[in-house]
Chain A
Amino acid sequence: MSVTDQPTMSTPAIRLRGLTKVYGSSPEPAVDALDLDVARGEVVALLGPSGCGKTTILRMINRLIEPTAGSIEIEGVDVTDQPVTDLRRSIGYVIQQIGLFPHRTIARNIAEVPRMLKWDSGRIDERVRELTVLVGLEVDMLDRYPDELSGGQQQRVGVARALAADPPVLLMDEPFGAVDPIVRKSLQDELLALQSRVQKTIVIVTHDLDEALRVADRIALFNVGGVIEQLATPDELMRSPASEFVEEFVGSDRGMRRLSLKNISSLDHRMGSVVDLDDEPSRGLEVMDREGIDWLGVVSEDRFAGWITRSAVEDAARNGKPLADLDRSDPIAQVRPDDTLRAAMELIILSNAATAVIDDNGRFGGVVTLEDLRAALGDTESVGAMT
C-alpha cells in the first residue's frame, strides 16, 4: 500500500511487492498488496495488533506460508527461484517459543544448519564456540540439553542457532515475548549490541511498541488486514503519527516514549550553573543569575565537587573567602551519558532537584535540566542520532 523511499544506493536486502495473502476460508485478505523495502543492515519492526498479518508477512519471506499474490526478493533474487530448503538455510529464523530441539545438546542445536550445509566438523566447532560467546552464553553450557537452561538462555541459543551459518537476513517472530520484562530488556540490549557487530538485515515481528522503539531503525505499523498505517523511524512515529489509528496505538504518553529513545550523550554539552572551584565567588553569582538557579555547582580537576547554596556564595563574595572553603553538598541527581532522557527526567522529578549532573565515569560531563529535555523533544534535527 505504501511504497518506501529508503535511500539505498544498491538493491534492498528484502523487497516485497504487491504481497498479498488470502486464507482459504476468509473473504478479507490477511495481507493486502504490501510493498516494503528493507535496506541492507537495517532493522525493521513489523508492529501491530493481533490479526494485522505481521506474522504472515514474516512467514511468507521464508516461504513457510505461500503468498496468494505478489513477489518477494532477497538480495535481488526471487525467493521462489531456489529450493525452499536452500532458501530457509540462508535465512536466520527466531520464534517466540524458540523451538530448540530438546533431544539435542546446545552445541548440536546451534550446529544444525552448518551441518546441513556440510561444513567440516572443525569449522562447525569453531563457529559454535564463537557464537556462544557472541550471544553471551558460557562455553560449558554447550553439552547441556535445552531444558537445563533458563528461558533467557534458551532464547540466546535460539539467536545463536539462527546466526550459525552467517545468514545475511534474520527473521524474528516475537523473539522475546516469552521471557519476563527484565530479561526481555536485556535481550533487546544484547540484540542491539550484537547487531552493531554483525550488521544483519533484520525483520522483527512484535506487538510491543516499546520493543519496536528500542530495537528498530524503522517501524512498519500495521492495522488489521495487513495494511501499513505508517512506516517511519521510531522518533518520527512518536512525533507525528500519520493517522488516528497510529495515534491511538502509540498512546498518549508518546512524549515520554520519545524521551526514552534518546541518550543524554545526544544533548549538547552544557556547564549550567557550575564553575571551577578556584573561580572567584563573584563569578559564581554571575553564573547563578544567568541560569536562574540558587545553587552553584563546583568542579575540581574534572570532577564534580558538590553544590553550594547561593547565600553561602554571597557571603563568601562579601568576605573575600574562596569557594573552596564553603560547605558543599553531594549531588542527589546524577546520570550517565548512556542513560536515556527519560531516565534523567524521572530522576530530576523524583529527587526534586532542578539539575541532574552528568557523571561520565567520574568525570564531570555537564548538566541536564528539565528545560534541556523539553528543548531536545523540539529538536527534530538530532533524530538520527539515536539509531
Chain B
Amino acid sequence: MTVLAAARNPIIRWEWLVDEWDQIRSALVEHLTLTVLSMGLGILLSALLAAVAIRYRWALTPITATTGLIYTLPSVAMFALLAPIFGNLARPTAVIPLAGYTLLILVTNTVAGFRSVPRAVRDAAEGMGLSPFRRIVTVELPLALPYIITGIRIASVSTVGLVTVAAIIGQGGLGSLIFSGLRRAFWTPMTVGASLSIIVALAVDALIYLIGALLTPWTRRAAH
C-alpha cells in the first residue's frame, strides 16, 4: 500500500512542472516582489534610523532595543495581527512585518560601518575642507559599504525564507506552493516550492555579494 502510494505520489512529478509552469512562475515572481519590496522598505527605514543613531549617539540604544523587540515577534503572529487591518491578501500585511525584521540587522551593520571609518580619515577630510555632506557621501558611506552590504545579504536571505511563511495569509509566493502541497499531501509542488526558495536565497546572496564586490574594489586590491 505504501509502496503503491509512493509510486503514485513521487517526490517530484516532472509533467506537473510543465502543466503548472504559469503557477510556478507567478509564485516565483510574487516571492521576488515581496522580497524586493520588504528589503526596499527595510533599507529605507534602517537608513533613517541609522542616520539618527549616528547623529545622536544616545539614540542608538533605544533604536537597537526597539528593532530588537520587533525581531523577536513571531512572524505568523505579526501576519495575523495585520491581516484584519490591511486585509489578508493586501501586500502591506506581508511587507510591513518582513521589512520590520530586517531593521535590527540593517541598522546595526550600517552604524557599525560608519563607526568603522578611521578617525584619521574623517579628521583629514574635515581638515582638507570637505563639507559635511561631501564627507559623508563621498568618504564615509563608501567606507561603510562593506558592513552595509553584509547586513543587506543577511537580511535578504532571511527575508527570502520568511516570505514563504506569508503563504499563511494567502501570499508568500513559493510558500503557497509548499503549503498547497502539504495540504494535499502531494509532494511535487512542495518540493518545487522548497527547492526554488533555497535557490532564490542562494542567488540573491550571490548577487548582492557581487554588487558589493563591484562597489568596493579597494577591499580586494588591498589584500596583496
Q: How many Å lie between the Cα of A99 and that of B122 in the bound state?
A: 7
A89 part of interface (Cβ distance < 8 Å) = yes
A164 to chain B, nearest CB (A): 9
A286 part of interface (Cβ distance < 8 Å) = no
Say whether A147 contacts B222, CB under 8 Å.
yes
Choose, from A90-98, A276-284, A321-329, A342-350, the stretch at the interface: A90-98
A144 part of interface (Cβ distance < 8 Å) = yes
Say whether A95 contacts B123, CB under 8 Å.
yes
Choose, from B17-25, B64-72, B127-135, B150-158, the stretch at the interface: B127-135
Say whether A99 contacts B222, CB under 8 Å.
no
Say whether B120 contacts A103, CB under 8 Å.
no
Say whether A95 contacts B142, CB under 8 Å.
no
B171 to chain A, nearest CB (A): 40
A208 part of interface (Cβ distance < 8 Å) = no
On whether A101 and B121 interact (CB within 8 A), knowing A147-B218, A147-B222, the answer reads yes
Q: Which residue of A lies closest to B132 (CB)?
A: A85
Say whether B124 contacts A95, CB under 8 Å.
yes
Q: How many Å lie between the Cα of A113 and that of B134 in the bound state?
A: 12
On whether A89 and B118 interact (CB within 8 A), knowing A102-B218, A103-B218, A148-B222, the answer reads no
Total A-B Cβ pairs within 8 A: 77
B114 to chain A, nearest CB (A): 14
A316 part of interface (Cβ distance < 8 Å) = no
Say whether B118 contacts A97, CB under 8 Å.
yes
Main SS class of interface, B: helix
Say whether A93 contacts B130, CB under 8 Å.
no
On whether A145 and B221 interact (CB within 8 A), knowing A95-B123, A103-B216, the answer reads yes
Q: Which residue of A lies closest to B141 (CB)?
A: A103
A169 to chain B, nearest CB (A): 12
B98 part of interface (Cβ distance < 8 Å) = no
B164 to chain A, nearest CB (A): 37
Q: How many Å lie between the Cα of A101 and that of B119 in the bound state?
A: 11
Partner of A103, one of B123, B130, B143: B143
Say whether A95 contacts B120, CB under 8 Å.
yes
Partner of A89, one of B119, B122, B123, B129: B129
B139 part of interface (Cβ distance < 8 Å) = yes
A171: chain B residues within 8 A (beta carbon): 127
Q: How many Å lie between the Cα of A145 and that of B134 in the bound state?
A: 20
A86 to chain B, nearest CB (A): 7
A87: chain B residues within 8 A (beta carbon): 129
Say whether A103 contacts B142, CB under 8 Å.
yes
Say whether B222 contacts A88, CB under 8 Å.
no
A194 part of interface (Cβ distance < 8 Å) = no
A103: chain B residues within 8 A (beta carbon): 139, 142-143, 216, 218
B125: chain A residues within 8 A (beta carbon): 99, 101
Say whether B120 contacts A112, CB under 8 Å.
no
Over the window 131-164 of chain A, the binary record of Cβ atoms lying under 8 Å from chain B Cβ atoms (1 yes, 0 no) is 0000000000000110110000000001001000
A85: chain B residues within 8 A (beta carbon): 129-131
30 A-B residue pairs with Cβ-Cβ distance under 8 Å, sorted by A, are A85-B130, A86-B129, A87-B129, A88-B126, A88-B128, A89-B128, A89-B129, A95-B120, A95-B124, A97-B118, A97-B119, A97-B120, A98-B124, A99-B124, A101-B139, A101-B143, A102-B118, A102-B143, A103-B142, A103-B143, A113-B128, A113-B129, A116-B128, A116-B129, A144-B221, A145-B218, A145-B221, A148-B221, A148-B222, A148-B224
- What would 16 more interface pairs be, CB under 8 Å, given A99-B118, A102-B222? A62-B127, A64-B126, A85-B130, A87-B129, A88-B127, A89-B128, A93-B128, A95-B127, A97-B120, A101-B121, A101-B143, A116-B129, A145-B221, A148-B224, A161-B128, A171-B127
Q: Which 5 A-B pairs have the closest CB atoms?
A: A99-B124, A88-B129, A97-B120, A147-B222, A99-B120
Which A residues are closer than 8 A to B by beta carbons? Answer: 62, 64, 84-90, 93, 95-104, 112-113, 116, 144-145, 147-148, 158, 161, 171
